[in-house]
Amino acid sequence: MDYNFKDIERRWQEYWEVNKTFKTEDDYSNPRKYYILDMFPYPSGSGLHVGHPEGYTATDIIARYKRMKGYNVLHPMGWDAFGLPAEQYAMKTGTHPSITTAENCSNFRRQIKAIGLGYDWDREINTTDPAYYKWTQWIFIQLYNTWFDHNENRGRPVSELSIPEEITAKGAAAVQEWIDSRRLAYYDDASVWWCKSCAIVCANEEVLSDGTHEKCDNTVIRKNLKQWLLRIPLYAERLLEGLDSLDWPEGIKEMQRNWIGRSEGAEVLFETEDGKDTIKVYTTRPDTLFGATYMVLAPEHPLAERLITPGMRESAAEYISKAMVKSDLVRTDLAREKSGVPTGSFVINPVNGKRLPVWIADYVLMGYGTGAIMAVPAHDERDFEFAGKFGLPVECIIDPATDCQEQRERVLNAKECWSGDGHYINSSDSTRGIDINGLGKAEGIEVITRWLTEKGAGSPKTNYKLRDWLFSRQRYWGEPFPLIHWEDGTISVVDEEDLPVELPPLTNYHPGEKGESPLANAEEWVNITTADGRRGRRETNTMPQWAGSCWYYLRYIDPGNENAIFDQRKERYWMPVDLYVGGAEHAVLHLLYSRFWHKVLYDLGVVSTDEPFKKLFNQGMILAFAYENRAGAKIASDLVEEREGKFYHKESGEELKQIVAKMSKSLKNVINPDDVIERYGADSLRLYEMFIGPLEATKPWDEKGVKGVHSFLARGYRFIAGSENINNNGTENSELAKLLHKTIKKVESDIVEMRFNTAISAMMILLNSMMKQGTVTRETASIFVLLLAPFAPHLAEELWRVLGNNNTISNEEWPPYDESYLKEDSFEYPVSFNGKLRFRLELPLSATPPEAENEVMSDERTARWLKGGKPKKIVFVKGRIINVVV
């Protein structure tokens, strides 16, 4: 009676498929719905790796558990299938990406089914399906037709914009321009990252901090191209506030907060010496205005050119042109060494009338604030460094709040920078009626900001780091924009009834000239002539991969709907997603973009919730063992042999150190789920994925561990399928019944808290105990199988049948535990002396402290540890511990 997992798993997977066991109905009569979502995968050519089934198994366990608890569960799967690899393959071979994509999806689907994951495959979606991206395009049109009303703090249709008369007076073109400048989606020249090797524009986020493209590792350069951008910063405050109500890991919320990067400060106006221009700067420290000794403009600042005096023309022009060519990354790369040039112009400090020289330096970024700063070297590290390098004055205006006298001296003498709190000095101007001397930072900021506002020289201002989202790519394999550029320069969106705008077939997948998308090659598709002879060109950019994944969770709700993005009633029933599980690599981008779109759709009344994902959980990465020699060189796994728990190089015999590293082809330590299923079965794969460690932890895959859980399943099978072990009559032994009910409780709470590793351990303990006892009742065996069902469903189904049931275990009720079995009436107290455990003492749980004290004192072992002394105090914690202090 061997555990024939291959046969068992094949049969039950077929059963589930034929009977549509996991089909989800929109059962409005059941108010207890549970929407549990996995981050859908990009179906790569190499198939699943063991990281995918980790999260999928976790959600599958919860989904199966929730079904057993009577919830209506929505647990779907789909494919984020647009992407570069299929397109690059097309360039090389001419195979249409849709063919490659379909093959990869089939392979992923086959692999996922082989794991026994209970998805409703009737709800499968694919971002590359025109029936799906029709609605991605539809959402883009909604974004295009939405503006953000700051008064109401929400997005509204552009049809509700009230156009000021002075704009109307200027004519239709001015009106159009005015409206366009308010749309959430806009078309503009953008300085973008260009990857020569991929011939693609990259989003800021796709460029790594070393200046390389995350997809191909080649260095990117700057390029100016017409691009589509989304005004996500308008939603910065909403995106920030929304985080507070979400049950997400604190770390992820913090990352989003940092990404949004809210900062409060003030804008300050500086007039140039000649009074001809006004320069606006942004500062979080308006209180340090008295310490400003110069001003810096970003090289791209519109006034930079104008302010350069004739004498400075040559050096400044050269500096600016060099800085413009440099990428931001090179600029930040050289962060340690500051550079800049003086313009020769001066501005007047509004608080004291002092003349401040204006410099141009690339440590000031045009993209943040106003692209100009007031420099306060005494109280800002960057300015301090710059002033030091170029010999600019440093004026201390804060007596620092530090205990270190020496440091205080250095700061007061402008030898050291102090950005912390303290009391102001040299910060008054009687003629202008301003004095903050003696005040602290918080008050200083308030007083100066108020003064600036009163004098019209500034105002409070909140800034965000979050930038407009570059939303177009020069690719073929992405969603086409539903847009037409007319020959008169105007743009219009495609009528909704004409959606989807489908990708045309192509023979040449290479990019067009001047960085155009390959779609530019499809001339028949691109060129449009209307019935009245108006000519235009379709937008040839396509949307980034984020687009399809931004809203896929909504389409699962009503995937086949041809008339609407989804049925409103269904949306109200299923949303929000109750639990969303995926990797932390999507902490910022995917999750922020999704939230943004969702909020826009909410403002437009399309969705009923303000946030899409109520609870988020990030699974940790699964790594693998790797080997390293003494010199620290990594050795491929196929060159390593294990002897007596140590590792040696097969050829040189050198002893190697076992380390933990990412799975990689070069280290030959990649684990393929197919192989694991072949050797140990899907249930063993699932169980090991969960047993390896806490779901959120980074942990190494160990083949030996798979063997361990496999033998647990095999023992379970042999024990329960062995009829001599099952007692059809009689009641269970009370010790075992106690353990059984304890285990039900433990497994249930561990599932709810997503601590699957300890749940499995509890089931192992139970089985060990059952086997030790030899015979158990049919009820005990049945409950064990029910507990196992969410984790190892194939085996559980099989054993359920062996125990005489005819239906699938998937629809059985989760066993309740009986509290009366959990009550103990005595406890074996650990008795310690001065905190050191010395012996154990069995006492009734009803024992009062004096009774316990008596018992301890009268125990013969106590005398030994008192060593003739008297106890100072006896600590008694009921049901926990007794500690005698001597």
User: 282 to 301, contacts with RNA by CB under 7 A?
Assistant: 282-285, 298
Q: What's CA 464's distance to the chain center, in Å? A: 19
Please identify, among the stretches 28-36, 129-137, 369-377, 604-612, the one whose residues bind RNA according to the rule CB under 7 A: 369-377
Interface with RNA (CB under 7 A), residue from 70, 388, 393, 835 = 835
C-alpha–C-alpha distance, residues 322 and 318, integer Å: 6
Question: Is the backbone of residue 397 left (phi > 0), alpha (psi -120 to 50) or beta?
Answer: alpha
Among the listed residues 327, 561, 608, 698, the single contact to RNA using CB under 7 A: 698
Q: State which residue, 209 or 666, has the beta carbon closest to RNA.
A: 209
Closest approach of RNA to the CB of residue 624, in Å: 11
Element housing 491 (H / E): strand 491-493
Q: Which of 60, 22, 74 is nearest to 571 (CA)?
A: 74
Q: 227 to 286, contacts with RNA by CB under 7 A? A: 250-251, 254-255, 258-259, 261, 263, 265, 282-285
- Distance between CA atoms of 590 and 583, rounded to whole angstroms? 11
Q: How many CB atoms are located within 10 Å of the residue 866 CB?
A: 13
557, 563, 569, 571 alpha-carbon torsion, rounded to 10°: 30
- The nearer residue to RNA, 96 or 699, going by C-beta atoms, is 699
Are residues 416 and 255 in contact, defined by beta-carbon separation less than 8 angstroms? Answer: no
Compare residues 79 and 691 and give the one whose CB is closer to RNA: 691
880 touches RNA by CB under 7 A: yes
Report the residue from 44, 176, 212, 332 that binds RNA according to the rule CB under 7 A.
332
Site for RNA in 310-329 (CB under 7 A): 328
121 near RNA (CB under 7 A) = no
- Please state, in angstroms and rounded to a whole number, the distance separating the CA atoms of residues 780 and 86: 53
Which 837-856 positions form the footprint of RNA (CB under 7 A)?
837-838, 840
Judged by CB under 7 A, the stretch of 142-150, 446-454, 694-702, 798-806 that binds RNA is 694-702
Task: Rank residues 845 and 875 by Cβ distance to RNA and give the closer one.
Answer: 875
Of 431-450, binders to RNA (CB under 7 A) are none
| Least Å from the CB of residue 736 to RNA | 15
| Least distance to RNA, CB of residue 402, Å | 15
Residues 6+ apart with CB under 8 A from 225: 189, 190, 192, 194, 201, 474, 515
Minimal distance in Å, beta carbon 872 to RNA?
A: 8
867 binds RNA (CB under 7 A): no
Element holding 509 (H helix, E strand)? none
Listing DSSP states for 309-359 in one string gives: -GGGHHHHHHHHHHHHHS-HHHHHHGGGS---EEEEEEEE-TTT--EEEEE
Minimum distance of RNA from residue 745's CB (angstroms)? 11
Considering only residues 493 to 522 of the shown chain, the ones binding RNA according to CB under 7 A are: none
User: Using the rule CB under 7 A, is 364 a contact of RNA?
Assistant: yes
Report the nearest approach of RNA to the CB of residue 705 (Å).
5
Among 185, 454, 246, 224, which Cα is nearest to 324's? 224
Binder to RNA among 39, 203, 230, 373 (CB under 7 A)?
373
Residue 877 contacts RNA per CB under 7 A: yes
Number of shown-chain residues binding RNA (CB under 7 A): 86
Give 731 or 768: the residue with its C-beta nearer to RNA: 768
Smallest separation, CB 758 to RNA (Å): 5
Smaller CB separation from RNA, 189 or 644: 644
Tokens of 669: 């330590």
Strands 125-126 and 154-157: unpaired
* Cα distances (angstroms) measured from residue 176 to each of 150, 231, 347: 20, 18, 37
Per CB under 7 A, which of residues 801..830 are in contact with RNA? 828, 830
Judged by CB under 7 A, which stretch of 67-75, 569-577, 581-589, 607-615 contacts RNA?
581-589
Q: Are 33 and 69 in contact (CB under 8 A)?
A: no
Nearer to RNA, 347 or 506 (CB): 347
| Three-state secondary-structure class, residue 452 | helix
* Rg (alpha carbons) of the chain, rounded to whole number: 34
Q: Binding residue for RNA (CB under 7 A) from 56, 193, 680, 712?
A: 712
Region class of 70: left (phi > 0), else alpha (psi between -120 and 50), else beta: left
Is 883 a binding residue for RNA by CB under 7 A? The answer is yes
- Rounded to 5°, the CA angle 878-882-885 comes to 140
Using the structure block, give the residue that is written with the tokens 């460094």.
Answer: 385
Between the alpha carbon of residue 289 and those of residues 274, 409, 448, the distances in Å are: 21, 22, 8
Q: Binding pattern to RNA, positions 205-224, x when CB under 7 A?
A: x---x---------------
**Minimum distance from residue 16 beta carbon to RNA (Å):** 28
Nearer to RNA, 440 or 705 (CB): 705
- By CB under 7 A, the residues from 629 to 668 that bind RNA are 644-645, 660
User: β-strands 579-583, 826-833: how paired?
Assistant: unpaired
Identify which of residues 289 and 522 has a Cβ nearer to RNA in the complex. Answer: 289
871 sits near RNA (criterion: CB under 7 A): no
Query: Binder to RNA among 459, 527, 530, 834 (CB under 7 A)?
Result: 834
Toward RNA, which CB reaches closer, 483 or 740? Answer: 740
Alpha-carbon distances of 147 from 155, 178, 593, 603, 604, rounded to whole Å: 5, 11, 17, 11, 11
| Contact with RNA (CB under 7 A) among 41, 377, 536, 700 | 700
Least distance (Å) from RNA to the CB of residue 251?
3
Half-sphere exposure of 446 (CA within 13 A, CB side): 5
The greatest distance separating any two alpha carbons of the chain, rounded to the nearest whole angstrom, comes to 112
Q: For RNA, which residue of 694, 742, 801, 805 counts as binding (CB under 7 A)?
A: 694
Mutual angle of helices 734-752 and 51-68, in 10-degree steps: 120
Distance CA(146)–CA(602), nearest Å, equals: 12
d(CA 49, CA 529): 49
Residue 365, interface with RNA (CB under 7 A)? yes
* Cβ nearer to RNA, comparing 44 with 761: 761
C-beta of 565 vs 785, nearer to RNA: 785
Cβ contact 213:195 at 8 Å: yes
Q: Which 378-397 positions form the footprint of RNA (CB under 7 A)?
A: 380, 382
Which residue from 36, 232, 506, 709 is in contact with RNA, where contact means CB under 7 A?
Answer: 709
From candidates 705, 727, 742, 821, binder to RNA by CB under 7 A: 705
Taking the least distance from each CB to RNA, the nearer of 45 and 367 is: 367
Q: Is 743 in the site for RNA (CB under 7 A)?
A: no
Interface residue with RNA, options 130, 242, 344, 708 (CB under 7 A): 708
Give the DSSP letter of residue 881.
E
d(C-alpha 549, C-alpha 553), whole Å: 8
Cβ at position 862, least distance to RNA in Å: 12
CB of 211 to RNA, least distance (A): 12
Quote the least distance from Cβ 223 to RNA, whole Å.
19
Restricting to residues 754-773, which ones interact with RNA according to CB under 7 A?
755, 757-758, 760-761, 764-765, 768, 771-772
Whole-angstrom distance, CA of residue 412 vs CA of residue 422: 11
Judged by CB under 7 A, the stretch of 445-453, 556-564, 632-640, 705-713 that binds RNA is 705-713
DSSP class of residue 34 equals: E
Which one-letter amino acid corresponds to residue 122?
D
Cβ atoms of residues 229 and 264 within 8 Å: no
DSSP state, 426? S
Site for RNA in 456-495 (CB under 7 A): 463, 465
In sequence order, which residues have a C-beta less than 8 Å from that of residue 55 and are 6 or more positions away?
38, 39, 581, 582, 583, 619, 695
Query: Does residue 5 touch RNA according to CB under 7 A?
Result: no
